[in-house]
């Protein structure tokens, strides 16, 4: 084993030109691919497609429309909608939307769709027609007619806003274009909504408000592009810090360059494999860079020390390679495996993140543990640089100021105190963490700032219309032609009524409630006939007036949704509604009449929330399982493993408490951060402990071993933690709320994991190797 | 000792079984009770009645019956039906009846606190729309397709009456022929040949009946014989009332409102600025007239119905029935019970 390792090392450095050439070729090839990577978002990627609810959703998507909708509210800012100009604009928006690829044309609905009709009761029966007459020419008389028709059609609050200043155009999007078979390009569609609708039709007196998943992701993608700036700032900060650390221009450039190569490789491979980068996972390349720098700094720290010891750069590089390949490799491998475990979660976007992150981290093994030392071996330091490196290598100042004093943490009493404080923090974190809510906690799009255009548009639409965008459909699955039976509709009606009584449900609609209105209509509009007729002919008559395009029944009437409009999509509202459906379907459902959860945007959220809740524990188990296993293998010591894992776990718990405190819910986008945090944190612990455990094994006491570890690696750990924390803290200024949140979370994780590794880890070690305490 | 315990045990088990069986059978026979839910007072309510100066009872869909002491807060009662109730009538502060779909008739003897079922016949597919009692024993219930029920024992038993005097001459002759020729077809025909009876009302010594197809009839012998009044409108009438004991008002489809100063012999149409369906006429103690209509329309008259001013409730929901209670107008609407402020 040892000889094989030596052989390996010798060969790498013997054929170092070959190694560099190979890396150069791969980098060039992958760089070309990396430049082709594009932002890519899709609705279905964000949902757990195999969840029970989503099976219902996918099964009925074609009949009842999906949950991936676009709502466009056209508003007159100078009065009500009844002006010629407004109707010209509205028609323009309707027609334009109709022709945008990806839009489900059958589902395009507005005042101008032929399916928007009114019905009125007259002496000899019904009179009705399209709300906008066929010969509409926008004249004052025509507008008066339209106004009257709108009232008769009962579409105030849905198609026309409550105050008559806005009108809605809405549609569903198709994930796959049935004609071309192509996947929907969500971001392109979002751009088209902006370019071809908002930019064309918004003008003085007319405002256009667009909401829906596609638009939201589009806006997030636009904001996420700002990440490039933050990336640049982070690189600059990192460079300055690393230079201050090693005082060598060359040794500063090399680790940063290698970490960037890892990012290029990662993006290249992803693009080569056909993956895009989701706007919500845009922080992954940055994380890869960060973890890369963390390992790179360890490498140059080691090189500096060897140079100071009188070795030439080649020898120094070779020695550092030998020393760091194992701890670095273990740390990176545990990150890789930890991230890979995220694949177990059946949500597309998390799987993509798992692939992207584990791939990136695995590639760092090559770029920073192989390429970096090989590159360093070529370096020739001039006299001045050599002097600087030698002077700073031991970081005497730091050693004197910090490490000597830091060593106190391994003395019994301070160690006990630290462990007690950590335990208290852990329990506090555990308590707070339990309050961590699943799902989205705020109205609108939580990833965007509250004052963003998208969220402002959401608030406007929620405010002006009675129906909300937050709806959930409970699909009643029955037998063919079931809706001509009173018993069936009666049960549907009962379910709807009970659900309407659940707090958080604003209103509800189903074939049953519409059939009652139609029955009343057939009886002169007399409210006393607003019942489901027991007479089958009458019932059929009522149902016949409800077209399948209404989305309230499918073609053979074997499925009909009960659409529940909710006040919001907060996690607790969703939980309450879902629980009520589950309770009532026990009482009302039969073999022939089954109430299936759930479709509609909130149905999708319910499924996602449940999937996230279910995934939380397994994910933590997998990540920790992987890290524990690798620690056991590499340290071959249970004590060492405990010393690394415990601080890590305390920090994970505190991170969850922080999420509670910041009011960040656990969603598909925030769930992986906890796993990523473990990946970031484990590096520090492994580097510190690998030196310590060697020395303890060699017979040194814990304080001695710790002091040695600090001298050898402590400065690098401290600098990396600070550097990366400062780098991500620039995200606080991001245009995306999501990135701000992530910035806070990651800053916390970088800093606190670092502190835990140099304070809590030795304190725990002091007690684990009690016999080695005084020697 | 042990033996005694065993016997005791077996007796206990046996009696438990008996109780269980009893429960089972009573459950099967007992009607379905309406669900008590928080939004009952916000659901479709179809009628409202003043039980006393301090109590209102309102009825509506799904067998909802609610009571209120102030017209603002409502309490739902446990009612042995889930059928939609269309009308409620109180003879005095204790005794009242409610009727509705599935031919349901309910009776209360404690001012609407508890209700007993007197009739339930969903298979007939004929809803009842009104009920009227002249004393504790004698009353009638009317409904769709000329349904006419009479009781002489407070509702314990009800007899069907077929009032062919409400038919035009031709139809009457046709039925007489049919009865002679084909008994079965005749029975089938009388189930649907009459118009819907929407409202029966005692005004002075006479009873008035209004309904579908411009039906307007009166009776001077408590509904045993009816006399059709001259047709004034082909559409349906939904309510009839009297103001100041001398002016009769009828309200119907599409804003049709008529008044009569001569006990229904001649009528004058009142122009109202609405084509909404007029559901009900409420008379306040000061002889103000309120006409409640669909689409949130409320017509008010301070001159005994000669002219009306129009007000539209913002929500545009149908106002179906109302009473004057504690100096305010309390109404039943398609989205529940509320107090409306007059102009």
For the cut 80, the answer to whether the pLDDT of residue A455 exceeds it is yes
Looking at the fold, whether B23 and B145 belong to one and the same domain comes out as no
Question: Exposure string (b/e) for A668-703, b if CB count within 10 Å is 16 or more?
Answer: bbbbbbbbbbbbbbbbbbbbbbbbbbbbbeeebbbb
- Phi, psi of A321, rounded to the nearest 5 degrees: -55, -45
Contact A72, A210 (CB under 8 A): yes
Nearest CB to A527 within list B38, B235, B334: B334
Band of the pLDDT at A646, cuts 50, 70, 90? Answer: very high
Name which of A527, A531, A580, A583 to mutate to probe chain B: the one with the most chain B Cβ atoms within 10 A of its Cβ: A527
Name the CA dihedral angle for B88, B90, B95, B96, rounded to a multiple of 10 degrees.
Answer: -10
Higher pLDDT, A230 or A428: A428
Domain membership of residue B290 as a residue range: 34-340
Contact A53, A61 (CB under 8 A): no
- pTM for the model: 0.81
Higher pLDDT, A422 or B7: A422
Percent of all residues in chain A with a pLDDT value above 70, rounded to a whole number:
96
In B253-293 the beta strands, taken as DSSP E runs, fall at 257-260, 268-270, 278-283, 289-293
For residue A595 the two structure tokens come to 């109430």
Sheet containing B45-52, strands listed edge to edge, beginning at the edge strand earlier in sequence:
B45-52, B55-60, B65-68, B75-76
Region A573-586 average pLDDT: 92
Band of the pLDDT at A122, cuts 50, 70, 90? Answer: low
User: Rounded to a whole number, what is the distance in Å from the CA of A432 to chain B's nearest CA?
Assistant: 34
Rounded Cα distance between A154 and B296, Å, is 13
Rounded Cα distance between B210 and B273, Å, is 23
Query: Would you call A534 and B125 a contact, using CB atoms and an 8 Å cutoff?
Result: yes
User: Rounded to a whole number, what is the distance in Å from the CA of B86 to chain A's nearest CA?
Assistant: 6
Element (H, E) at A209: strand A206-211
For the cut 60, the answer to whether the pLDDT of residue A353 exceeds it is yes
CA of A513: which chain B residue's CA is closest?
Answer: B44
Q: What is the predicted pLDDT for the residue at B10?
A: 42
Q: What contacts B205, CB < 8 A, 6 or more positions away? A: B220
> What is the SS3 string spanning A424-466?
HHHHHHHHHHHCCCECCCCCCCCCECCCCHHHHHHHHHHHHCC
Looking at the fold, whether B94 and B40 belong to one and the same domain comes out as yes
Higher pLDDT, A65 or A739: A739
Query: Would you call A533 and B125 a contact, using CB atoms and an 8 Å cutoff?
Result: yes
Q: What is the predicted pLDDT for the residue at A121?
A: 58
Element (H, E) at A611: helix A600-635
User: Rounded to a whole number, what is the distance in Å from the CA of A547 to chain B's nearest CA?
Assistant: 24
Residue holding tokens 């109430």? A595
Closest CA relative to residue B36, chosen from B67, B2, B70, B14:
B67
For the cut 70, the answer to whether the pLDDT of residue A458 exceeds it is yes
Can you say how many angstroms the Cα of residue A655 is from the centroid of all Cα atoms in its chain? 16
Region A91-116 average pLDDT: 88
Query: Would you call A531 and B320 a contact, using CB atoms and an 8 Å cutoff?
Result: no
Closest CA relative to residue A410, chosen from A690, A753, A701:
A701
Element (H, E) at B47: strand B45-52
Q: What is the predicted pLDDT for the residue at A268?
A: 94
Chain A residues within 8 A of B39 when measuring between CB atoms: 500-501
**What 3-state DSSP class applies to A697?**
helix
Contact A138, A132 (CB under 8 A): no
Q: What contacts A271, CB < 8 A, 6 or more positions away? A: A33, A34, A36, A37
Rounded Cα distance between A109 and B142, Å, is 44
CA of B130: which chain A residue's CA is closest?
Answer: A528
Element (H, E) at A721: helix A715-729
Rounded Cα distance between A148 and A139, Å, is 14
User: Rounded to a whole number, what is the distance in Å from the CA of B46 to chain A's nearest CA?
Assistant: 7
When the pLDDT of each residue in chain A is averaged and rounded to a whole number, the result is 86
Q: What is the predicted pLDDT for the residue at B15?
A: 40
Query: Would you call B37 and A123 a contact, using CB atoms and an 8 Å cutoff?
Result: no
Looking at the fold, whether B89 and B202 belong to one and the same domain comes out as yes
Contact B81, B60 (CB under 8 A): no
Query: Would you call A524 and B62 a contact, using CB atoms and an 8 Å cutoff?
Result: no
Q: What contacts A413, CB < 8 A, 6 or more positions away? A: none
Rounded Cα distance between A20 and A257, Å, is 14
- Phi, psi of A21, rounded to the nearest 5 degrees: -60, -45
B316 touches chain A (CB under 8 A): yes
Looking at the fold, whether B264 and B327 belong to one and the same domain comes out as yes
Looking at the fold, whether B167 and B96 belong to one and the same domain comes out as yes
Chain B residues within 8 A of A584 when measuring between CB atoms: none
Name which of A528, A540, A588 to mutate to probe chain B: the one with the most chain B Cβ atoms within 10 A of its Cβ: A528
Looking at the fold, whether B320 and B254 belong to one and the same domain comes out as yes
Looking at the fold, whether B144 and B38 belong to one and the same domain comes out as yes
Query: Would you call B43 and A497 a contact, using CB atoms and an 8 Å cutoff?
Result: yes
Rounded Cα distance between A642 and A761, Å, is 9
Band of the pLDDT at A1, cuts 50, 70, 90? Answer: low
Q: Number of structural domains, chain B?
A: 2
For the cut 90, the answer to whether the pLDDT of residue A379 exceeds it is no
Domains for chain A: give ranges and CATH numbers: 1-35+223-393 (1.20.1640.10), 69-211 (no CATH), 395-435+637-775 (1.20.1640.10), 470-606 (3.30.70)
Query: Would you call A534 and B46 a contact, using CB atoms and an 8 Å cutoff?
Result: no
Looking at the fold, whether B16 and B45 belong to one and the same domain comes out as no
**What 3-state DSSP class applies to A688?**
helix
- Torsion sign over Cα B310, B315, B320, B321: negative
Q: What is the predicted pLDDT for the residue at B27?
A: 37
Q: What is the predicted pLDDT for the residue at A498?
A: 94
Looking at the fold, whether B233 and B305 belong to one and the same domain comes out as yes
Terminal alpha carbon distance of chain A: 33
Residuewise pLDDT in 10s, chain B (343 residues): 444 444 444 444 444 433 333 333 333 345 788 889 999 999 999 999 999 999 999 999 999 999 999 999 999 999 999 999 999 999 999 999 999 999 999 999 999 999 999 999 998 889 999 999 999 999 999 999 999 999 999 999 999 999 988 888 888 888 888 888 888 888 888 888 899 999 999 998 899 999 998 999 999 999 999 999 988 999 999 999 999 988 999 999 999 999 999 998 999 999 998 889 999 999 999 999 999 999 889 999 999 999 999 998 877 789 999 999 998 999 999 999 999 875 4
B213 touches chain A (CB under 8 A): no
Band of the pLDDT at A545, cuts 50, 70, 90? Answer: confident
CA of A525: which chain B residue's CA is closest?
Answer: B277
Q: What is the predicted pLDDT for the residue at A66?
A: 67
Q: What is the predicted pLDDT for the residue at A462?
A: 83
User: Rounded to a whole number, what is the distance in Å from the CA of B228 to chain A's nearest CA?
Assistant: 21
Looking at the fold, whether B143 and B216 belong to one and the same domain comes out as yes
Region A425-432 average pLDDT: 92
How does pLDDT run across A60-103, given as a tens digit for each residue?
Answer: 887 776 678 898 999 999 888 899 999 999 999 999 999 998 88
User: Rounded to a whole number, what is the distance in Å from the CA of B2 to chain A's nearest CA?
Assistant: 45
Q: What is the predicted pLDDT for the residue at A396?
A: 67
How does pLDDT run across A471-530, given as a tens digit for each residue?
Answer: 899 999 999 888 889 999 999 999 999 999 999 998 888 999 888 988 888 888 899 999
For the cut 90, the answer to whether the pLDDT of residue A277 exceeds it is no
Query: Would you call A156 and B316 a contact, using CB atoms and an 8 Å cutoff?
Result: yes
In B204-273 the beta strands, taken as DSSP E runs, fall at 206-211, 216-219, 227-228, 237-243, 247-252, 257-260, 268-270
Q: How far is CA A294 from CA A268, A578, B251, in A?
A: 22, 45, 85
Chain B residues within 8 A of A123 when measuring between CB atoms: 234-235, 253-254
Q: What is the predicted pLDDT for the residue at A497?
A: 95
Looking at the fold, whether B14 and B128 belong to one and the same domain comes out as no
For the cut 80, the answer to whether the pLDDT of residue A209 exceeds it is yes
Whether the upstream peptide bond of residue A598 has omega within 30° of 0, thus cis, is yes
ipTM for this prediction: 0.89
Region A373-379 average pLDDT: 90
Looking at the fold, whether B114 and B199 belong to one and the same domain comes out as yes
User: Rounded to a whole number, what is the distance in Å from the CA of A51 to chain B's nearest CA?
Assistant: 32
Higher pLDDT, B138 or A385: B138
Band of the pLDDT at A697, cuts 50, 70, 90? Answer: confident
Q: What is the predicted pLDDT for the residue at B13?
A: 41
Rounded Cα distance between A489 and A543, Å, is 10
How does pLDDT run across A552-573, given as a tens digit for each residue?
Answer: 888 888 999 999 988 888 888 8
Q: Which of residues 93-132 of B touch A (CB under 8 A)?
A: 101-102, 122, 125, 127, 129
Region A32-41 average pLDDT: 85
Closest CA relative to residue B115, chosen from B181, B64, B159, B72:
B64
What is the CATH number for B256?
Answer: 2.130.10.10
């Amino acid at each position: 084993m040892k000889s094989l390792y030596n052989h390996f090392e010798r060969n790498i450095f013997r054929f170092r030109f070959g190694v560099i050439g190979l890396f150069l070729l791969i980098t060039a090839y992958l760089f070309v691919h990396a430049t082709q990577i594009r932002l890519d978002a899709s609705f279905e990627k964000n949902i757990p497609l195999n969840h029970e609810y989503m099976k219902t959703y996918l099964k009925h998507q074609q009949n009842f429309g999906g949950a991936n909708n676009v709502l466009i509210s056209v508003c007159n800012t100078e009065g009500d909608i009844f002006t010629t100009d407004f109707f010209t604009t509205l028609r323009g928006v309707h027609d334009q939307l109709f022709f945008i690829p990806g839009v489900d044309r059958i589902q395009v609905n507005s005042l101008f769709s032929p399916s928007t009709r009114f019905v009125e009761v007259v002496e000899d029966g019904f009179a009705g027609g399209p709300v906008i007459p066929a010969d509409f020419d926008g004249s004052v008389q025509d507008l008066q007619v339209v106004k009257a028709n709108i009232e008769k059609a009962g579409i105030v609050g849905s198609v026309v806003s409550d105050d008559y200043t806005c009108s809605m155009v809405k549609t569903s999007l198709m994930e796959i274009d049935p004609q071309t078979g192509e996947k929907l390009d969500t971001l392109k569609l979002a751009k088209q909504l902006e370019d071809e609708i908002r930019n064309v039709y918004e003008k003085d007196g007319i405002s256009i408000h667009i909401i829906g998943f596609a638009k939201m992701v589009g806006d997030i993608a636009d904001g996420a592009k700002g990440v490039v700036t933050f990336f640049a700032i982070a690189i600059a900060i990192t460079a300055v810090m690393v230079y201050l650390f090693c005082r060598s221009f060359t040794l500063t450039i090399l680790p940063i360059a290698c970490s960037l190569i890892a990012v290029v490789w990662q993006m290249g491979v992803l693009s080569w494999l056909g993956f895009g980068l989701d706007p919500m996972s845009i922080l992954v390349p940055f994380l890869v860079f960060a973890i890369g720098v963390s390992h790179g700094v360890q490498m140059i720290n080691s090189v500096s020390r060897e140079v100071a010891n009188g070795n030439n750069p080649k020898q120094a590089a070779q020695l550092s390679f030998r020393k760091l390949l194992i701890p670095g490799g273990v740390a990176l491998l545990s990150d890789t495996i930890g991230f890979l475990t995220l694949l177990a979660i059946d949500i597309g976007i998390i799987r993509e993140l798992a692939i992207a992150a584990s791939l990136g981290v695995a590639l760092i093994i090559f770029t920073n543990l192989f390429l970096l030392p090989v590159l360093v071996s070529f370096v020739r330091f001039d006299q001045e640089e050599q002097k600087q490196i030698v002077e700073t290598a031991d970081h005497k100042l730091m050693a004197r100021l910090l490490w000597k004093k830091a060593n106190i943490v391994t003395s019994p009493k301070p160690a006990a105190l630290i462990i007690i404080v950590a335990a208290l923090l852990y329990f506090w974190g555990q308590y707070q963490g339990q309050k961590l809510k699943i799902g989205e906690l705020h109205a609108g799009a939580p990833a965007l700032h509250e004052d963003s255009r998208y969220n402002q548009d959401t608030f406007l639409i929620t405010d002006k219309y009675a129906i909300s965008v937050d709806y959930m459909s409970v699909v009643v699955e029955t037998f063919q032609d079931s809706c001509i039976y009173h018993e069936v509709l009666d049960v549907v009606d009962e379910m709807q009524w009970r659900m309407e009584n659940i707090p958080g449900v604003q209103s509800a609609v189903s074939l049953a409630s519409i059939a009652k209105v139609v029955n009343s209509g057939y009886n002169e509009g007399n409210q006393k006939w607003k019942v489901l007729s027991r007479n089958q002919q009458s019932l059929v008559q009522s149902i016949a007036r409800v077209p399948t395009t209404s989305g309230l029944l499918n073609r053979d009437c074997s499925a009909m949704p009960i659409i529940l409009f909710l006040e919001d999509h907060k996690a607790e509202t969703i939980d309450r509604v879902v629980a009520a459906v589950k309770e009532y379907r026990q009482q009302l459902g039969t073999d022939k009449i089954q109430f299936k959860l759930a479709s509609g945007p909130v149905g999708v959220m319910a499924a996602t929330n449940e999937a996230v809740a279910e995934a939380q524990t397994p994910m933590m188990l997998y990540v920790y399982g992987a890290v524990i296993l690798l620690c056991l293998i590499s340290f071959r010591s249970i004590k060492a493993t405990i010393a690394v894992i415990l601080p890590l776990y305390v920090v994970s718990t505190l991170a969850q408490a922080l999420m509670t405190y910041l009011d960040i819910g656990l969603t598909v986008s925030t769930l992986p951060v906890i796993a990523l945090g473990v990946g970031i944190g484990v590096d520090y612990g492994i580097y510190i402990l690998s030196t310590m455990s060697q020395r303890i094994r060699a017979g040194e006491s814990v304080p001695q071993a710790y002091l040695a570890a600090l001298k050898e690696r402590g400065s690098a750990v401290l600098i990396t933690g600070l550097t990366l924390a400062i780098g991500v803290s620039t995200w606080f200024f991001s245009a995306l709320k999501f990135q701000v949140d992530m910035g806070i979370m990651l800053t916390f994780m970088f800093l606190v994991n670092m502190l835990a590794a140099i304070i809590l880890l030795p304190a725990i070690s002091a007690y684990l190797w009690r016999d080695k305490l005084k020697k | 000792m042990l033996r005694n315990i065993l016997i005791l045990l077996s007796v206990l088990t046996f009696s438990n079984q008996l109780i269980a069986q009893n429960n089972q059978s009573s459950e099967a026979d007992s009607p379905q009770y309406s669900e008590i839910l928080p939004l009952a007072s916000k659901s479709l309510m179809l009628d409202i009645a003043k039980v006393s100066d301090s109590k209102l009872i309102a009825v509506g869909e799904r067998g909802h019956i609610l009571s209120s002491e102030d017209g603002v807060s409502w309490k739902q009662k446990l009612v042995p039906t889930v059928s939609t109730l269309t009308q409620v009538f109180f003879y005095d502060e204790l005794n009242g009846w409610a009727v509705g779909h599935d031919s349901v008739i309910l009776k209360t003897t404690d001012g609407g606190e508890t209700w007993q079922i007197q009739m339930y016949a969903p298979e007939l597919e004929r809803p009842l729309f009104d009920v009227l009692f002249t004393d504790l024993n004698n009353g009638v219930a009317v409904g769709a397709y000329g349904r006419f029920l009479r009781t002489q024992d407070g509702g314990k038993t009800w007899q069907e009456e077929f009032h062919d005097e409400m038919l035009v001459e031709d139809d009457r002759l046709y039925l007489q022929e049919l009865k002679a020729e084909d008994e079965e077809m005749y029975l089938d025909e009388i189930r649907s040949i009459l118009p819907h009876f929407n409202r029966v009302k005692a005004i002075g010594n006479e009873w008035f009946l209004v309904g579908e197809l411009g039906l307007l009839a009166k009776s001077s012998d408590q509904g045993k014989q009816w006399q059709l009044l001259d047709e004034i409108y082909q559409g349906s009438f939904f309510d009839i009332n009297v103001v100041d004991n001398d002016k009769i008002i009828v309200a119907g489809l599409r804003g049709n409102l008529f008044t009569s100063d001569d006990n229904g012999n001649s009528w004058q149409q009142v122009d109202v600025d609405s084509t909404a369906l007029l559901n009900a006429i409420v008379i306040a103690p000061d002889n103000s007239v309120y006409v409640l209509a669909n689409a949130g329309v409320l017509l008010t008259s301070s001159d005994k119905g000669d002219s009306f001013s129009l007000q539209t409730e913002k929500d545009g929901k149908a106002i179906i029935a109302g009473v004057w209670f504690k100096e305010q107008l309390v109404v039943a609407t398609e989205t529940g019970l509320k107090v409306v402020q007059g102009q």
